[in-house]
Amino acid sequence: MTITTRPASTPLNIDGVVVSPDHYINGERVAAEQTFALYSPIDQRLLGQVACGSSEQVDMAITAAAAAFPHWSALSAEERQRYLNRFADEIGKRADDFCVLESNDAGVLLSRMRHGVVPRAMQNIRYFAEHALQLQNRTLETPQALHRIRHDPAGVVAIITPWNAPLMLTTWKLGPALAAGNTVVVKPPEWAPLTCSLLADAADAAGLPAGVLNIVQGEGASTGNHLISDPRLARISFTGSVPTARHIAQVAGGNLVPCSLELGGKSPFIVLDDADLDNAAATAALMYRNAGQVCLAGTRLLVDEKVVDTFVGLLRGYVEKLQVGDPRDESTEVGPIIHPRQIERVQGFVDRAREQGAQILWGGAAHHAGAQYFQPTLVTGVEQHAEIVQSEVFGPVLTLQTFSAVEEAITLANDSDYGLGGICYGATERATAVAEHIHTGFIWVNSFGIRDLAAPFGGCKRSGIGREGGEWSFEFFCDIKDVVVPRQPFRASFSHR
C-alpha cells in the first residue's frame, strides 16, 4: 500500500509541550490541505491549526488498518499484551505532557489529569490487555459436545470520542479493541484533539505495527461522516450526543455495522430524609467539577421536603468554597466551558428557565474568571416537564425538586428520556432498595464515581446502546464463535423422524 505524505506541518508548542497537528496514518504523520483552528477554553487564545481529514485521508486510514489486520489479529493475546504494556509505559513517560495538552485544549483540571485521568488511561490499556488472556480456552460442556468458545477479532474498528474526556475515553475504547486483535481508526473531538495526537507518538514509540492505530482529525460533519459511511468497518464505538448517535446508527445500519453508543445523561441525585446530609451535600457539590461537563453527574437533585432546607444550606456552604478559574492552577475546582457555543447553550437553558418562573438560588450567569467560565448554578421552582429538568445542559447547572414520599422520588427519577446513572443517599438498606427501582445503567448508593474496569458501564433509554467494561467490551469488539466438537462419532442421517 502506498500513502502519499504531504510535508509535515510545523509542530504546535502548547505551554512548552510539542505536539503534531497532523494525522497519524500507517505509522506516519500525514498533513492535510485543509485545517481547522483550535482555541483554548482557558483564555480563547489560538493554539494552532489542526489537520482536517478529507475523504481521501479517511480512506487511507481504513485501508492501512485493513492491511494491518491480518498480522495483528494473528498474534497471540500474550504477544499483543507485550505491545500494549509498552504502549501504557509510553503514556506514562509522557504523563506531564498529556496533562498540559488536555488542560489547554479541553479545559480539564490539571490536578484531575495528573491524579486521575493519566493513571486511568494507562490502566485502561493494561487492564484490557490482561483481560484478553482470560478469554482463551473457554469451553462449555454438554452431554452431546464440547463447545470451544472463541472471541475472534472483528476487523477494522472506528472509535469516535467526545471533547469532555478525550484521553480517558479514547484509551477506554482502544484498550479492548486492540487487545481483542482489531485494528483501529480514531476520530478525536475537533474541540480537543491534542491528547489523541500525543497518543500516536506513544504508540509509535511502543513499536505498535504500522496501521494498527490510525488517528484522523477533523469535524464530525465531514471527517466523521466519511468514516462511519465506509462499509469496510466492522464496528463503530461512539461516545457523544443523542442527535449524532442517531445519525451514526442510521448510516451504520445501511452497512449492518454494529454500534456501541454511550450517550448523554440527566441523572437523578436522590436524598432521603435519613441520609447523612453533610456527606450528600459535599457529593452534590462535586457535580460542578469539570464545569459540569460530565455525563455521569447527578444534575437533578431530588430531596425529601423534610430535610431540603438543611441540605440546601449545607450545599451552599460547599459551593461557596469552590474555586473557579484556570484549570492549570492546582487549587482550581471548576474550570472553563469547552467552547463559546457551549457556554451560550448553558446560558440559554438558565435564561429560559428563569423566564418560565424558575428561581435561581445561586449562580445563573458568566463568572468573572473569563469569557468561557460559568458560575455554579442551582435552579429550583421547576416543573417536572420543564426543559431544564428534561434536557441535558452539560454545564455547571443543577436543578432542585422535592418529594414527600419515596414512591414520588422514584417516579420523578424515572420520568426522563435518559437513563445513564444515578445517586441515592440514605440509610444503606433503604437507599439500596430505592436504587434498585431506578431505570438506569448504574447507580451509586451513598457514593459517587466508584468505578471498576471489570464492571459494566452504559445507559438505558436515550443514554445509549450496549455496555462497556470487562467482558462486555470484548463481547462488542469480538465476533463470538462456537466451535462444536461432538463427544461421540457423528454420522449424518437423512431419515425424517
Catalytic residues: 262
Helix (H) or strand (E) holding 395: none
Judge contact between 127 and 176, C-beta under 8 A.
no
The whole-angstrom separation of Cα 446 and Cα 1 is 55
Angle 194-205/77-93 helices, nearest 10 degrees? 120
Helix/strand/coil percentages in the chain, nearest 5:
40, 20, 40
Q: Could you tell me where the beta strands, DSSP code E, fall in 188-239?
A: 213-215, 233-239
Rounded distance between C-alpha atoms, residue 104 and residue 169, angstroms: 18
| Cβ-contact 342, 334 below 8 angstroms | no
* CB-based contact 211:61 (threshold 8 Å): no
SS3 464: strand
Q: Which three cell numbers stand for residue 127?
A: 487492564
Identity of the amino acid at 454: A
Per DSSP, the three-state class of 435 is: helix
Contact 379, 350 (CB under 8 A): yes
* Residue 170: C-alpha distances to residues 122, 152, 459 (Å): 11, 22, 18
∠ CA 151-157-160, rounded to 5°: 130
Q: Name residue 82's amino acid.
A: R
Q: Across-strand partners of 401?
A: 302
Sequence-separated (6 or more) residues with CB below 8 Å from residue 88: 122, 123, 125, 126, 129
- Measured CA to CA, the distance from residue 78 to residue 92 in angstroms comes to 21
